[in-house]
Each structure stands twice: as C-alpha cells, then as structure tokens.
Amino acid sequence: MIYDVIIIGAGSMGMAAGYNLAKAGKNVLMLDAFDPPHEEGSHHGDTRIIRFAYGEGASYVPFVKRAGELWKELEALTDESLFLQTGVMNVGEETHSFIQNVKTSAKLYDLSLEQYSAAEAMEKWSGLSLPENFVACYEPTAGVLRVEACIRAYKTLAIEAGATLHTNEKVQNIEAGNIVRVQTANSVYEAKHLIVTAGAWATELLQSMGITIPVTPTRKTFAWFEADEQLYRENVFPAYCFEFADSSYYGFPSIDGAGLKLGRHDGGEAINPNDPLRPFDEQDTIDLQSFINRFMPQHGTLKFGKTCKYSMTPDEDFIIDFLPEHRNIVIAAGFSGHGFKFSSAVGEVLTDLTLNGKSKQDLSIFRLSRFNTH
C-alpha cells in the first residue's frame, strides 16, 4: 500500500505531527527506532520549560504562543495535567542579550513580565542567592510541561485517529521520488509524503540520501538535588534560566517532591547518536553542584544525574523546511535544546506544510538555505 504520509521518528515533533495528520483524515505511518516516550533521544527527564517572553529572540513568540494554545487543547482533549504554571525566572546581568530579548519579547507582544533586582528577588524567593548586579525577569504565566506525558497523550490520540505506529523499527535508507521509499530492517514502505523528525539521528538519516545538514548530536547532563520543600516546591519556587557571559543553566522547582532539577544548557561534547552515552560522572556533578551551591544554597545532596541528547545547529535556531528539490519531504530538526515547548505547534506546521505546502507561522528563520549545505 502507499501511505499518504510516513513520519520517521515519533518523538516530540513526530508524534504531534502524526496526530494532526491522522486527524485530518490522512493515512499515516509513524516509524520509530525505539518505543516513545523513551530514554534514548531528547525527550526524557520528566519536565521541560515553556516560556513565552523568548530570550532566544522575539521572532519565536507567535510560534510559542500558538504552542501554548495547543498544549491547553491537548490537556482538554485528554483530561490530563500536562502543564504546570510554575512561572519562569530569567536571571542574569540586565545587559545580557538573553535578558534584553526577554524584555523585548514581552514588550512587543504584551506579555506579563515582572522585573526584580537581586535583593527583591531574594526576598520573594528566599531559597535564592544572587549577586548584586543580577536581575530576575519573572514570567508568571510560563511554566513546565510534563514531557513524557505530552508525548504519550499525542500517541494515544494519533492511534485513536487512525495513525499506524511501528516501534523498534529503525529506518535505514530513504529513496526520494514522487513516491518516497523508506527502508527498515523489516520492510520497504511507500508514501506520497515524508516527514523526517529523527532528532539526534537526523543528520545520519539524511546522509543516506546524500544530504548534509549541520546538526550536531551533543551529550547533555542534568540532575536532581534534595530540596527543602518549604523553599523549593513547585508552588513556591519557579522554573529558571540563568544566563552568564560564558555559560547558561536552567532548572525546575521540586515537582511532586522530586527535588530541585538542574541542567547546563551550553557546551557538551559532540557524539555519535548510536553510541551509548557516557554516564553522568564526577565532572558533571562538580559542574552542576558549583552552580547550585552558589545560587540555591539551601539545597540538599545530589540525588541522581542523567544524560540526554541535544541536536545543535550552528546558530541554535531550528530547521523546519522542505528538502531542496523534494517538495514532498519536510524535515524538522536541530531543535538545539529548546524545542520541546514548540512541539505541539511544530506538529501543526508539519501538517500544513505537507498538506498545503505552506504554514501560517513565519518559518523564515528556520530555512535550511541559511546554511551552505548540499
């Protein structure tokens, strides 16, 4: 049989696309190398921040606002709690470009944002310790998404809407054409349209078609620390992004008593996504511990750490585009450690690109042609 659409990678982006396309009445096959949600890619670890006053640039705001609406819709459809309105504070020197972008985004799009000096912030959140020259820009309507639950919700809805999901079936090769052929160890599948949402494996997969995209799979670490619940629980302490001249960290309050969660956003080593990740080690502990000792000094001991994969583009903006010369193949890749919050809206965009050849969202910053590839 010839499917209307095959989706390679039913993770954060692919599962949302699968739901939208099946809902639109399309005959959809989703193929995944594992059984999502799983711990092999970029979507494990319980929580993801969603913020609207966007530090990466105001041009992301309409897209993330749409994503926020779709998360609410998903909650209503599944009657599940997927979003926690913890608020998010963006912390750093006022002159830092990220903090400036947060303020510009809020101003341009009329988002609620409260700015606190270091002293004011420490009074509001007594578990916090900041140097005098830092500010905290607090977005009260931002918060946290329960990442695996979101993917599970889209999975249930996609299958209910008639999508087919094959798990533990890795795609090995793609043959472009009016009818696209996709080969796995088990079979060859055919479709009129293809969507590639393979996360950390996108580069490897497109190489099978002779196409190179500048997306580098990168090892990342995060950890949970024991927390004084009076100071750090979810309705007392917000999620946070800390921006320094040469590094950035993000984290979460203690949600459901899990402890304070913390990760480092910048850096990390380039990896082959097929190799087992080097486990969370002593050096990773030292790095996260020194951040938390300085800024959340009343935390307790390290509970445990984990590793995960980012897919980095050189400019840290996403790639959402047709493949050059193949208008029936769309890729969404290179989410550079800040993509999950958008995945509900990416699912919608991929559906519109596939079915109508265009999207209501402005995708110009996500074009593949900004890089000198192919």
Ligand X SMILES: Cc1cc2nc3c(=O)[nH]c(=O)nc-3n(C[C@H](O)[C@H](O)[C@H](O)COP(=O)(O)OP(=O)(O)OC[C@H]3O[C@@H](n4cnc5c(N)ncnc54)[C@H](O)[C@@H]3O)c2cc1C
Residues that are catalytic: 44, 47-48, 261, 265, 308, 341
d(CA 55, CA 163): 36
- What is the helix, strand, coil percentage profile of the chain, to 5? 30, 30, 40
Contact between 263 and ligand X per CB under 6 A: yes
Query: For ligand X, which is the closer residue by CB, 44 or 233?
Result: 44
Minimum Å distance from CB 174 to ligand X?
Answer: 9
Minimum Å distance from CB 120 to ligand X?
Answer: 25
Beta bridge partners of 66: none
* Element housing 241 (H / E): strand 239-243
Using CB under 6 A, which of 7, 171, 345, 368 touches ligand X? 171
Burial status of residue 282 (CB atoms within 10 A of its CB: 0-12, 13-18, 19 or more) = exposed
Neighbouring C-beta atoms of residue 245, cutoff 10 Å:
8
Contact between 253 and ligand X per CB under 6 A: no
Q: Pattern 47-86, binding to ligand X, x per CB under 6 A?
A: -xx-------------------------------------
Residue type, 206: L
CA dist 151 → 132, 146, 258, 340, 347 (Å): 41, 9, 20, 10, 12
Contact between 12 and ligand X per CB under 6 A: yes
Query: For ligand X, which is the closer residue by CB, 127 or 268?
Result: 268
Neighbouring C-beta atoms of residue 81, cutoff 10 Å:
9
Minimum Å distance from CB 203 to ligand X?
Answer: 10
Asked if residues 88 and 51 have their Cβ atoms less than 8 Å apart, the reply is yes
Contact between 264 and ligand X per CB under 6 A: no
Copy the structure tokens of residue 272.
Answer: 């082959």
Contact between 32 and ligand X per CB under 6 A: yes
Determine the length of the chain.
Answer: 374
Part in contact with ligand X (CB under 6 A); list of ranges 26-34, 102-110, 120-128, 349-357: 26-34
d(CA 215, CA 271): 11
Number of residues that bind ligand X (CB under 6 A): 39
Using CB under 6 A, which of 222, 224, 237, 295 touches ligand X? 222
Residue type, 326: H
Contact between 8 and ligand X per CB under 6 A: yes
Query: For ligand X, which is the closer residue by CB, 34 or 280?
Result: 34
Residues contributing to the site for ligand X (CB under 6 A): 8-14, 31-34, 36, 40-43, 45, 48-49, 170-171, 197-199, 201, 205, 220, 222, 250, 263, 308-310, 335, 337-341
